[in-house]
Amino acid sequence: MSASSRILSLAVIPGDGIGPEVVAQGLKVLNAVLPQDVKLETKEFDFGAKRYHATGETLTDADVEALKQHDAILLGAIGDPSVPSGVLERGFLLKLRFLFDHHVNLRPSKLLPGVSTPLKGQPEIDFIVVREGTEGPYTGNGGSIRTGTPHEVATEVSVNTAFGVERVVRDAFARAQARPRKKLTLVHKNNVLAYAGHLWTNVFNKVAKEFPDVTTDYIHVDAATIYLVTDPGRFDVIVTDNLFGDIITDLAAAVSGGIGVAASGNINPGREFPSMFEPVHGSAPDIAGQGKADPSATVLSVALLLRHLGHEDEAARIEAAVSADLAERGDTVRTTEQIGDALAVRVAG
Amino acid sequence: MSASSRILSLAVIPGDGIGPEVVAQGLKVLNAVLPQDVKLETKEFDFGAKRYHATGETLTDADVEALKQHDAILLGAIGDPSVPSGVLERGFLLKLRFLFDHHVNLRPSKLLPGVSTPLKGQPEIDFIVVREGTEGPYTGNGGSIRTGTPHEVATEVSVNTAFGVERVVRDAFARAQARPRKKLTLVHKNNVLAYAGHLWTNVFNKVAKEFPDVTTDYIHVDAATIYLVTDPGRFDVIVTDNLFGDIITDLAAAVSGGIGVAASGNINPGREFPSMFEPVHGSAPDIAGQGKADPSATVLSVALLLRHLGHEDEAARIEAAVSADLAERGDTVRTTEQIGDALAVRVAG
Ligand SMILES: CC(C)[C@H](C(=O)O)[C@@H](O)C(=O)O
Ligand SMILES: CC(C)[C@H](C(=O)O)[C@@H](O)C(=O)O
């Protein structure tokens, strides 16, 4: 959004399953929090399983052009058991991350008061994962020969570039520097994945020199999963590869209150293309349409969206509202809409 | 060990850090449990950091030939901060797994009574992970160009073959079939790693037809980490790729009592080469030489070793001894040796 025009032009992708329900509440809260002089313009897109079944399309060139016209994208969830595994993931979600160069995949984990964790003793958890979003084993490089025969060989190539690693590492250092603890942990598997591991480690150590006030350390991805359940408080900011980031952020979400409250941003920091914000949870078809889904993760994704566009105050107000709502929630069972209403009241108040 | 000769010829690799301490207790318990008519012959090997610093060697051709002469290998731990990351891992541990075709990397996770877990509510945890040990991203395929420059590109190639996948999947099905729940879960990331994912999924579904009494399901590796902390009881047997197996077995160890009790076997099921058994924990240089290390993981690895060689009764006796010891342990602080002594008494009695 350009500050002068004061128009926030948002592409909205409700998607599949519980996507439409949670996105409706995200928009409600967004409307409630925005200052009077900012005009919200939304355009809805019908990506997902229904469109795929009707047309065979996941994301056309025209779609991409249309999405580019917006300041940001809010996504509910994409995916349905009726669509073969991978079709929508690669044909839509990953395609957009690559086309719009969403190289910073931002996933905060904070265990809020009142939220239950599977871990004993309610540990303090407050860290963010900066996951690389456009490289690693996610590039789709690879192939198979003698496919379907007893002599099949299938490969997947993890592609890592100094350019790609350095920009995300630098972004993570800047985020670490802006936090009180100023600590950044590199997570990789450099004792086994030597080529990629050396690149990541060397770039990390090089960029570290530009941020002398940031404390750094390194841990292997396998050990990181141990720390995430035995000592999650040790983490402040984590930077990691695309696949490791995928794995540890699901675990991080689980220990910090579950994917019901886990938000994420697929960010193009230079704003050359719109960034996309989405809850970490999927489409959860088993509870779709029943008003049971918790919209908090989507609402928190809206906060990340606002922060990305420079609306820090509004982002903080949303986060405070969700935090207060969770703290007072207790055992009350509320519908998706009731939670959205409560949050809208809080951010407006 | 051939049943006629009744000699168990064991290669012993104490290794680095706490390795020698825990291996000593493992051997003590092994001696105590073996029937009178089985003669244990051990030969110690000096692999690890010390030898590397003295000679630059990690594992020579002559070493490999010498190791081949044994029925099995018991390893303490290899690794020291004085050696650059990856040198001993790739030059010794992984090299042996590949040379001796240890394609079944077996890692049981059982939360024993009296053992504390970071998870709330002491859930029932009793599953095994069958991790592929000779393929995937561990093959060392890959490389880098323009290394060290801003234009570096580094790749890692995950190599997967129908032959390699099928044999480990079949092994896992057989293990699942032999357990009361008869359930096998494939863990992969087939929605993103499409080539390897399809191979794994197709082979899994094909082999499943030969085991109609085994219930099967599939989950993505990221979701698997969520289940491991929210519902670990859902797992019975897991089969997975080398890298995913590395990651989830550390997490599995953490939730089921920590790496102090996590055993593993690098198994060549056809016994063409000796299999290697080792605790999942590393060399823990910070507590080395202080008698603080828990030898239970090594002792449980000895049980896996005995089972592999056909000594089921002795294996079960060791497992029962460790289980009883842990249940009665309470807050008593004992040395490595005291725990070993106690276990030796139990298995003999
Ligand atoms: C749906 C899938 C392609 C995606 C990923 O692997 O990145 C998801 O797991 C995520 O974390 O956003
Ligand atoms: C030390 C390392 C090479 C090894 C692996 O990655 O396999 C270890 O983490 C393990 O799980 O045995």
A5 or B130, higher pLDDT: B130
To 10 degrees, what angle do helices A242-255 and B221-230 make? 20
Average pLDDT for chain A: 96
Give SS3 for B92: helix
pLDDT at A330 (0 to 100) = 83
Which ligand is in closest contact with the Cα of A247?
Answer: 1
| pLDDT band at residue A1 under the 50/70/90 scheme | very low
pLDDT at A349 (0 to 100) = 76
B297 has a chain A CB within 8 A of its CB: no
B293 carries a ligand binding annotation = yes
pLDDT at A227 (0 to 100) = 98
- How many angstroms separate the alpha carbon of residue B307 from the centre of ligand 1? 40
B223 carries a ligand binding annotation = no
Q: In the 8-state DSSP scheme, what is residue A258?
A: -
**pLDDT (tens digit, 9 = 90+) per residue, A11-30?**
999 999 999 999 999 999 99
Rounded Cα distance between B63 and B298, Å, is 23
* Smallest CA separation from ligand 2 atom 9, residue: B246
pLDDT at B2 (0 to 100) = 47
What sign for the dihedral angle of Cα B249, B254, B257, B258?
positive
**pLDDT (tens digit, 9 = 90+) per residue, A251-272?**
999 999 988 899 999 999 999 9
**pLDDT (tens digit, 9 = 90+) per residue, A186-222?**
999 999 999 999 999 999 999 999 999 999 999 999 9
The answer to whether B229 contacts A150, with C-beta atoms less than 8 Å apart, is: no
Calculate the dihedral angle through the C-alpha atoms of A205, A220, B20, B135, rounding to the nearest 10 degrees.
-120
The stretches in chain B having pLDDT less than 50 are 1-2, 4
Atom of ligand 1 nearest to the CA of A89: 3
Report the number of secondary-structure helices (H) and strands (E) in chain B. 12, 12
Domains of chain B: 1-104+258-349 (3.40.718.10), 117-256 (3.40.718.10)
With CA atoms as reference, report the closest residue to B34 among B69, B9, B64: B9
pLDDT at B317 (0 to 100) = 98
* Residues from chain B contacting residue A202 (CB–CB below 8 Å): 148
What sign for the dihedral angle of Cα A71, A76, A82, A85?
positive
A178's CB contacts (< 8 A; 6+ apart) are none
Residue A200 has, within 13 A of its CA and on its CB side, a CA count of 33
Which residue is closest to A248 within chain B, CA to CA?
B222
The answer to whether B249 contacts A222, with C-beta atoms less than 8 Å apart, is: yes
| In the block, residue with structure tokens 């941003």 | A265
Residue A4 has pLDDT above 60, yes or no: no
Amino acid residing at B9: S
Task: Tell me which residues of chain B, numbers 166 to 225, contact chain A at a CB-CB cutoff of 8 Å.
Answer: 166, 189-199, 202, 221-223, 225
**pLDDT (tens digit, 9 = 90+) per residue, A70-122?**
999 999 999 999 999 899 999 999 999 999 999 999 999 999 988 999 999 99
Ligand 2 binding pocket mutation candidate from B47, B93, B109 (most atoms within 8 A of CB): B93
Q: Is B213 exposed, middle or buried (CB count within 10 Å of its CB: 0-12, 13-18, 19+)?
A: exposed
The H-or-E segment that residue B213 falls in is none
Which residue is closest to A161 within chain B, CA to CA?
B153
Closest Cβ–Cβ partner in B118, B250, B251 for A119:
B118
pLDDT at B329 (0 to 100) = 87
From residue B315, give the alpha-carbon distance in Å to each of A47, A261, A338, B8, B29.
56, 45, 57, 14, 11
CB B25 within 8 A of CB B336: yes
Closest Cβ–Cβ partner in A144, A152, A162 for B149:
A162
Burial A34-63 (b: 16+ CB within 10 A, else e): beeebeeeeeebebbbebbeeeeebbeeeb
pLDDT at A5 (0 to 100) = 56
**pLDDT (tens digit, 9 = 90+) per residue, B262-274?**
999 999 999 999 9
* Smallest CA separation from ligand 1 atom 8, residue: A246
